[in-house]
Amino acid sequence: MIHSELPPSAKRSLFKEALSRDGLLQFPGALNPLSARLIEGHGFDGVYISGAVLSAELGLPDIGLTTLTEVAKRAQETSRVISLPTLVDADTGFGEPMNVARTTQILEDAGVSALHIEDQVNPKRCGHLDGKAVVDEETSVKRIRSAVDARRDANLTIVARTDIRSIAGFDETIRRAKALRDAGADAIFPEALASLSEYERLANEVGLPVIANMTEFGKTELFPASELRNVGVKIAIYPVSLLRVAMGAADRALSVLRSEGSLESLLPDMQTRAELYDLLDYESYNQFDSSIYNFSLPQAHEEPVRERS
């Protein structure tokens, strides 16, 4: 009801098991905890918590302006309300290796099942923009080692993200992915790959679960889930999709309100009150109240007589 019935440790263990099985896991990006419940209700495998979405919600560009506190708060709020695993964008770890270690433990305490640390220069920028820069291999390896060493739950999945593809080419992506694997990463997130064949080669040569970022208007084609599955991709994330759909709908609704004076024409497109209450599980809260607060006040003649001292 208020929290997921599964504790974080159980969700992490189930996620690790899922990574070991064949098939593709789909992780849509939640724009808030309520949308995470919607994702779960549609039967997806997990929820992605995007740094770009959090930045946008705060009215900021995705250039490393959000703080660890803000990310951890959203990670905890989202992980709390669902039984699905959550994968959170931890950017560059919010500092040097010691900061990465602290970031890992704080996000672990927030209840996530997995987090990814990237190799961009801090402060980072959106992975599908030009002009990115990455740190040297030694620094990227230290970040991942720090995260791996800092976790207390061995089932917390540490994902190494590399943005080197658009800077130094695909062969260098393979080389860096192998170095990150050797540093202890549980999965590899290669940003902005150019083709399905690149995903397939990376998965085969590195030997770790591979994540594909299916973000709209980016450098990577929006490959169907079936094609990603066929080339060995393990997780597909859709980081900003729900935010884009929601903001597009909100923009159009405001135009209608401005021009028509009401939103009556859009009622068929809205989530109904009943659907919202069902998503929030109102009935369980009502039953909880009834079972706890089931007392009745005694009648006057039933009250005990107290003796004066």
Q: Is 62 a catalytic residue?
A: yes
From the candidates 32, 108, 119, 126, give the one annotated as an active-site residue: 126
210 neighbors 234 (Cβ within 8 angstroms): yes
190 closest CA partner among 153, 241, 140, 226: 140
159 neighbors 188 (Cβ within 8 angstroms): yes
> Which class for 172: exposed (0-12), middle (13-18), buried (19 or more C-beta within 10 A)?
middle
Q: Is 122 a catalytic residue?
A: no
From the candidates 45, 62, 163, 186, give the one annotated as an active-site residue: 62
Q: Is 151 a catalytic residue?
A: no
Instruction: At 134, list the tokens.
Output: 């990455």
30 closest CA partner among 72, 103, 79: 79
Q: Is 130 a catalytic residue?
A: no
Q: Is 213 a catalytic residue?
A: yes
- CB neighbour list of residue 253: distance below 8 Å, 6 or more residues apart: 263, 266
Q: Is 116 a catalytic residue?
A: yes
From the candidates 40, 91, 108, 119, give the one annotated as an active-site residue: 91
Q: Is 153 a catalytic residue?
A: no
From the candidates 12, 37, 40, 48, give the one annotated as an active-site residue: 48
From the candidates 40, 89, 119, 186, give the one annotated as an active-site residue: 89
From the candidates 74, 151, 161, 201, give the one annotated as an active-site residue: 161
Q: Is 229 a catalytic residue?
A: no
Q: Is 281 a catalytic residue?
A: no
From the candidates 40, 45, 108, 118, give the one annotated as an active-site residue: 118
From the candidates 191, 201, 238, 244, give the one annotated as an active-site residue: 191
From the candidates 74, 163, 213, 238, give the one annotated as an active-site residue: 213
From the candidates 37, 74, 116, 151, give the one annotated as an active-site residue: 116
Q: Is 45 a catalytic residue?
A: no
Helix (H) or strand (E) holding 213: strand 211-213
111 neighbors 80 (Cβ within 8 angstroms): yes
Q: Among all residues, which ones are annotated catalytic? A: 48, 62, 89, 91, 116, 118, 126, 161, 191, 213
